[in-house]
Amino acid sequence: MSVTPSRVAIFGAGYVGLVTGACLADLGHSVVIRDVLADRIEALKRGEIPIYEPGLAELIAANAERIAFTTDVREAIDGADFVYVAVGTPPTYSGDADLSAVWNVIDELPAIDRACVVVMKSTVPVGTGSKVRHRLDERGLVQVGYASNPEFTAEGTAVADFLRPDRIVVGAFREEDGDAVVALHAGIESPVVRCDVASAEMIKLAANAALMTRISFINEIANVCEATGADVVRVAEGIGLDRRIGPSFLRAGIGFGGSCFPKDSLALKQLAANSGYHFQLLNAVIEVNELQKRRVIGKLHRHLGSLRDRRVALLGLAFKPDTDDTREAPSIVLAGRLLAEGAEVRAWDPIVDGHDLYGVEIAASPAAAAAGADAVVIVTEWPELIDVDWASVGASMRTPVLIDGRNLLDPVLIRAAGFQYEGIGRAAGPPED
Ligand code: NAD
Ligand code: UDX
């Protein structure tokens, strides 16, 4: 399908705004990305990309003539056919989504005398679109359309996820606004789900909840495996081959983190509660995840007894590989718990700088983090950890204990390298003599 170039303004130069902007420019559209952070915009103008997302810098560079950056609202809006909202919606103290940045964008819009569509990319509670529509009408922006076009990209694979999505969801109040948003994606092969705005908003929250439910489910199965002698890796393989179940999101570990799952689970829980419904299953999913992060501490206790003055190496700080994002990362909970127990914590991550982690010493390599330690914990499944010379790392440690929070390593090889190895939900090794 040939692309009719549109002019797209994007509010928010974060993970979603930058990926959306780069991908829409790659489809042939002309994009202006606006952020309130002057430093960020200046860096982007110099060609520096403020986040680590594979392929993003290259895509922005390849489409540089179609992407501009600004802090100025009018410059962004000038001639725009679409105004994308891609600002953060973090949790408030109550767990509800904080929509203040979204409302800032809507309230900052100048009078617009041409047809354009405000497109909500940020994840928002169901009902937000109706409220935004009402506010636009109150402000006399009646001709400005509104559509919900939730984002399903995952960090680390966001560019590919955007350009080759499982589906594009578009909810709109007016048919023609939805048509325009669908047409903007010409060039992307994907099923399109057209629906009302509230359903589009719910699809996003429900998709995340379904994925989190699978993770907490397999983590509970892992915990029962530990108690009964089964191996969750084999169990996940065995159930995932059932076509009705499928293999994805069945990796047991130390729980989900990131900028989306934890906050979106709370937002959906509160959305339900505010509407008078107690979402029992989602509450359990959240609770299982909280406990899962802490089970590692129990494992360390079993091997080392008290953790006071013990040295523990955390390998990986990002909430998952291929990102520099540490929002709600299990590493932060683990570091906090270990420090509270009186342990010394040394950490390594190939991308995250980590110097803002209070009380944690940052090491330059996995081996440097582990030297002299009583235990290492694999927190993020960075592939480079597979190729570490574990035998020499073990030899450099005070006690060679390895807790593999992501089931990354081969237990047989690691035990052969001299470690006391424990994964998550994995069969116990051969009895130690
Ligand atoms: P982010 O924090 O990385 O970026 C948000 C950006 O918006 C920041 O740079 C901030 O300065 C800017 N901003 C704030 N107010 C602004 C304003 N008035 N005008 C212009 N810019 C403004 O956030 P993110 O991770 O990109 O997430 C954005 C939204 O997308 C959230 O609702 C999130 O839940 C959702 N989402 C994120 C992901 C993801 O992988 N990160 C995936 C799907 C959906
Ligand atoms: C997620 C959703 O996948 C994406 O659709 C949405 O747009 C944003 O939130 P993201 O948070 O970037 O994406 O990463 P994802 O790969 O989904 O992982 C989230 C967390 O779940 C990570 O901490 C990861 O380690 C954990 N996880 C994932 C598991 O513990 N087990 C799994 O099987 C899969």
Flag whether 268 is in a domain.
yes
Distance from the CA of 154 to the center of ligand 2, in angstroms?
7
Q: What domain range is 57 assigned to?
A: 7-195
Checking if the pLDDT of 429 tops 60, the result is no
pLDDT tier at 427, thresholds 50, 70, 90: confident
pLDDT of residue 94: 87
Q: Which residue has the tokens 């934890």?
A: 262
Tokens standing for 114? Answer: 């041409």
Instruction: Give yes or no: residues 216 and 247 share one domain.
Output: yes
Q: How far apart are CA 174 and CA 145, in angstroms?
A: 7
Distance from the CA of 386 to the center of ligand 2, in angstroms?
21
pLDDT tier at 96, thresholds 50, 70, 90: confident
Instruction: Give yes or no: residues 59 and 181 share one domain.
Output: yes
Instruction: Give yes or no: residues 26 and 117 share one domain.
Output: yes
Q: How far apart are CA 64 and CA 47, in angstroms?
A: 9
> Residue 260 catalytic?
yes
Please report the atom of ligand 2 found closest to the CA of residue 250. Answer: 33
**Nearest Cα residue to atom 12 of ligand 1:** 12
Checking if the pLDDT of 226 tops 80, the result is yes
Instruction: Give yes or no: residues 228 and 253 share one domain.
Output: yes
Flag whether 429 is in a domain.
no
Percent of the chain with pLDDT over 90: 94
**Nearest Cα residue to atom 3 of ligand 1:** 14
Assign 239 to helix, strand or coil.
helix
Flag whether 87 is in a domain.
yes
Instruction: Give yes or no: residues 188 and 214 share one domain.
Output: no
Please report the atom of ligand 2 found closest to the CA of residue 207. Answer: 5
Checking if the pLDDT of 433 tops 60, the result is no
Instruction: Give yes or no: residues 15 and 83 share one domain.
Output: yes
Instruction: Give yes or no: residues 83 and 126 share one domain.
Output: yes
Checking if the pLDDT of 4 tops 90, the result is no
pTM: 0.95
Strand 67-70 relative to strand 30-34, pairing: parallel
Q: How does pLDDT run across 319-333, given as a tens digit for each residue? A: 999 999 999 999 999
Flag whether 327 is in a domain.
yes
Q: How far apart are CA 213 and CA 99, in angstroms?
A: 25
Least distant ligand from the CA of 122? 1
Flag whether 411 is in a domain.
yes
**Nearest Cα residue to atom 14 of ligand 2:** 154
Instruction: Give yes or no: residues 133 and 219 share one domain.
Output: no
Flag whether 431 is in a domain.
no
- The DSSP-derived string for 59-103 is HHHHTGGGEEEES-HHHHHTT-SEEEE-----B-TTSSB--HHHH
Ligand 1 pocket, mutate which of 73, 96, 151, 256 (most atoms under 8 A from CB): 151
**Nearest Cα residue to atom 9 of ligand 2:** 260
Q: How does pLDDT run across 118-158, given as a tens digit for each residue? A: 999 999 999 999 999 999 999 999 999 999 999 999 999 99
Distance from the CA of 118 to the center of ligand 1, in angstroms?
16
Residue 215 one-letter amino acid = I
**Nearest Cα residue to atom 24 of ligand 2:** 256
Flag whether 295 is in a domain.
yes
Distance from the CA of 346 to the center of ligand 1, in angstroms?
31
**Nearest Cα residue to atom 15 of ligand 1:** 101
Total count of domains within the chain: 2
Q: How far apart are CA 424 and CA 309, in angstroms?
A: 25
Checking if the pLDDT of 1 tops 90, the result is no
Distance from the CA of 422 to the center of ligand 2, in angstroms?
23
Pocket of ligand 1 (CB under 6 A): 11-17, 34-37, 40, 86-89, 101, 104-105, 121-123, 151, 153, 155, 259-260
CATH at 141: 3.40.50.720
Least distant ligand from the CA of 215? 2
Instruction: Give yes or no: residues 228 and 351 share one domain.
Output: yes
Q: How does pLDDT run across 287-320, given as a tens digit for each residue? A: 999 999 999 999 999 999 999 999 999 999 999 9
CA distance to 70, 312, 322, 367, 417, per residue, from 389 (Å) = 47, 18, 22, 8, 9
Half-sphere exposure of 10 (CA within 13 A, CB side): 28
Q: How does pLDDT run across 339-366, given as a tens digit for each residue? A: 999 999 999 999 999 888 999 999 999 9
DSSP alpha helix (H) spans, 109-164? 128-138, 158-163
Please report the atom of ligand 1 found closest to the CA of residue 124. Answer: 32
Ligand 2 pocket, mutate which of 256, 288, 323, 378 (most atoms under 8 A from CB): 256
Distance from the CA of 342 to the center of ligand 2, in angstroms?
31
Flag whether 430 is in a domain.
no
Instruction: Give yes or no: residues 107 and 241 share one domain.
Output: no
> 23, 116, 225, 260: which one is catalytic?
260
Residue that is last in its domain, among 134, 163, 195: 195
Name the average pLDDT for the chain.
Answer: 95
pLDDT tier at 428, thresholds 50, 70, 90: low
Residue that is last in its domain, among 164, 195, 226: 195
Q: How does pLDDT run across 50-89, given as a tens digit for each residue? A: 999 999 999 999 999 999 999 999 999 999 999 999 999 9
Distance from the CA of 41 to the center of ligand 1, in angstroms?
14
Q: Which residue has the tokens 């991308």?
A: 351
Instruction: Give yes or no: residues 225 and 141 share one domain.
Output: no
Instruction: Give yes or no: residues 291 and 359 share one domain.
Output: yes
State the DSSP H helix or E strand holding residue 7, giving kind and residue range, or none if neither: strand 7-11
Residue that is last in its domain, among 160, 195, 230: 195
Pocket of ligand 2 (CB under 6 A): 151-155, 208, 211, 215, 249-251, 253, 256-258, 260-261, 319-320
Please check whether residue 197 is in contact with residue 148, taking contact to mean a CB–CB distance below 8 angstroms: yes
Checking if the pLDDT of 431 tops 50, the result is no
**Nearest Cα residue to atom 28 of ligand 2:** 249
Checking if the pLDDT of 262 tops 60, the result is yes
